[in-house]
Amino acid sequence: MLASIKTNSLTNEGQKLGMMYFRVAVILFGAQLVMGLIAAIQFLMPGFLFEIFDFSVARMVHINALVVWMLYAMIGSTYLMLTDETEHEGVGIALGKLGFWILTAAVTVVVLVYIFIQVGAGTEATIWFINEGREYIEAPRWADIGIVVVVLIFYWNVFATYLAGKQTGIMTVMVANLLALAGLYIAGMFFTDNISMDQFWWWWVIHLWVEATWEVFVGTLAAYALIKLIGAKREIVEMWLWIEVLMLFGSGILGLGHHYFWIGTPEYWWEIGALFSALEPVPLIAMFVHVLYDWGKEQGIANGKGEEGNVIKNGPAMAWIVTNAFGNFLGAGIWGFFHTLPQVNIYTHGTQFTAAHGHLSFFGAYATILIGMIYYGIQRAYGVERMKSTFKSKMGIFMITFGVMGMTIALTIAGYEQVLVERADLGATWNAFFTAQDLAWYTQAQLWRAIMGVVTFVGFIYLVWDLLTIGKAAKETQEA
Ligand code: HEM
Ligand code: HEM
Ligand SMILES: [Fe+2]
Could you tell me the distance, in angstroms and rounded to a whole number, from the CA of residue 403 to the centre of ligand 2?
12
Please work out whether the CB of residue 414 comes within 6 Å of at least one atom of ligand 2: no
Please work out whether the CB of residue 251 comes within 6 Å of at least one atom of ligand 1: no
Type of residue at 366:
Y
What pLDDT is recorded for position 2? Answer: 56
Ligand nearest to the CA of 363: 2
Q: Does position 232 have pLDDT exceeding 90, yes or no?
A: no
Q: Sign of the CA dihedral 39, 40, 41, 44?
A: positive
Range of lowest pLDDT (67-71, 120-124, 370-374): 120-124
* Arithmetic mean of pLDDT, 389-397: 98
What pLDDT is recorded for position 161? Answer: 98
* Closest C-alpha to ligand 1, atom 15: 135
**Quick one: three-class SS letters along 210-248?**
HHHHHHHHHHHHHHHHHHHHHCCCHHHHHHHHHHHHHHH
Q: Does position 473 have pLDDT exceeding 80, yes or no?
A: yes
Q: Does position 460 have pLDDT exceeding 60, yes or no?
A: yes
To the nearest 10°, the Cα dihedral for 80, 311, 244, 212?
A: -40
Please identify, by atom number, the ligand 1 atom nearest to the C-alpha of residue 252. 27
Distances (CA, A) of 146 to 73, 105, 186: 18, 10, 12
What pLDDT is recorded for position 19? Answer: 97
The answer for residues whose C-beta is within 8 angstroms of residue 429's C-beta and 6 or more apart is: none
Range of lowest pLDDT (172-176, 219-223, 299-303, 366-370): 299-303
Could you tell me the distance, in angstroms and rounded to a whole number, from the CA of residue 455 to the centre of ligand 1?
24
What pLDDT is recorded for position 296? Answer: 80
Q: Does position 248 have pLDDT exceeding 90, yes or no?
A: no
Q: Does position 276 have pLDDT exceeding 90, yes or no?
A: yes
Q: Does position 373 have pLDDT exceeding 70, yes or no?
A: yes
Please work out whether the CB of residue 404 comes within 6 Å of at least one atom of ligand 2: yes
Q: Does position 137 have pLDDT exceeding 70, yes or no?
A: yes
Tell me phi and psi for residue 314, to 5 degrees: -145, 100
Domains and CATH numbers, the chain: 1-166 (1.20.210.10), 191-295 (no CATH), 312-475 (1.20.120)
Q: What is the CA radius of gyration of the chain?
A: 22
CA dist., res. 137 & res. 127, Å (int): 12
% of the chain at pLDDT higher than 90: 81
Please work out whether the CB of residue 358 comes within 6 Å of at least one atom of ligand 2: yes
What pLDDT is recorded for position 347? Answer: 96
Please work out whether the CB of residue 350 comes within 6 Å of at least one atom of ligand 1: yes
Mutation test of ligand 1: which of 210, 254, 362 has the most ligand atoms closer than 8 Å to its C-beta? Answer: 210
The separation between CA 284 and the C-alpha centre of its own chain, rounded to angstroms, equals 15
Mutation test of ligand 2: which of 359, 397, 418 has the most ligand atoms closer than 8 Å to its C-beta? Answer: 359
Per-residue pLDDT tens for 444-458?
999 999 999 999 999
Could you tell me the distance, in angstroms and rounded to a whole number, from the CA of residue 256 to the centre of ligand 3?
6
119-123: long-range contacts at Cβ-Cβ below 8 A with a sequence spacing of 24 or more? 119/56, 119/57
Please work out whether the CB of residue 135 comes within 6 Å of at least one atom of ligand 1: yes
Q: If pLDDT is split at 50, 70 and 90, which confidence band does 283 have?
A: confident
First to last CA, the chain: 26
Please work out whether the CB of residue 40 comes within 6 Å of at least one atom of ligand 2: yes
Cβ neighbours, 10 Å, residue 308: 9
Type of residue at 320:
W
Please work out whether the CB of residue 153 comes within 6 Å of at least one atom of ligand 2: no
Cβ neighbours, 10 Å, residue 452: 23
What pLDDT is recorded for position 6? Answer: 64
Q: Does position 7 have pLDDT exceeding 70, yes or no?
A: no
Please work out whether the CB of residue 347 comes within 6 Å of at least one atom of ligand 1: no
Burial of 395 (0-12, 13-18, 19+ CB in 10 A): middle
Could you tell me the distance, in angstroms and rounded to a whole number, from the CA of residue 160 to the centre of ligand 3?
32
Could you tell me the distance, in angstroms and rounded to a whole number, from the CA of residue 263 to the centre of ligand 2?
23
Q: If pLDDT is split at 50, 70 and 90, which confidence band does 311 have?
A: confident
What pLDDT is recorded for position 8? Answer: 65
Mutation test of ligand 1: which of 354, 368, 404 has the most ligand atoms closer than 8 Å to its C-beta? Answer: 354
pLDDT mean across residues, the chain: 93
% of the chain at pLDDT higher than 70: 98
Per-residue pLDDT tens for 139-168?
999 999 999 999 999 999 999 999 999 999
CA dist., res. 126 & res. 133, Å (int): 9
pTM summary value: 0.96
What pLDDT is recorded for position 191? Answer: 79
CB 205 within 8 Å of CB 137? yes
Q: Does position 288 have pLDDT exceeding 80, yes or no?
A: no
Q: Does position 225 have pLDDT exceeding 90, yes or no?
A: yes
* Closest C-alpha to ligand 2, atom 22: 36
Q: If pLDDT is split at 50, 70 and 90, which confidence band does 413 have?
A: very high
Could you tell me the distance, in angstroms and rounded to a whole number, from the CA of residue 63 to the centre of ligand 2?
7
* Arithmetic mean of pLDDT, 91-95: 97
* Closest C-alpha to ligand 2, atom 8: 36
Distances (CA, A) of 213 to 14, 180, 184, 207: 23, 7, 9, 9
Could you tell me the distance, in angstroms and rounded to a whole number, from the CA of residue 62 to the centre of ligand 1?
17
Please work out whether the CB of residue 63 comes within 6 Å of at least one atom of ligand 2: yes
Mutation test of ligand 1: which of 215, 284, 340, 370 has the most ligand atoms closer than 8 Å to its C-beta? Answer: 340
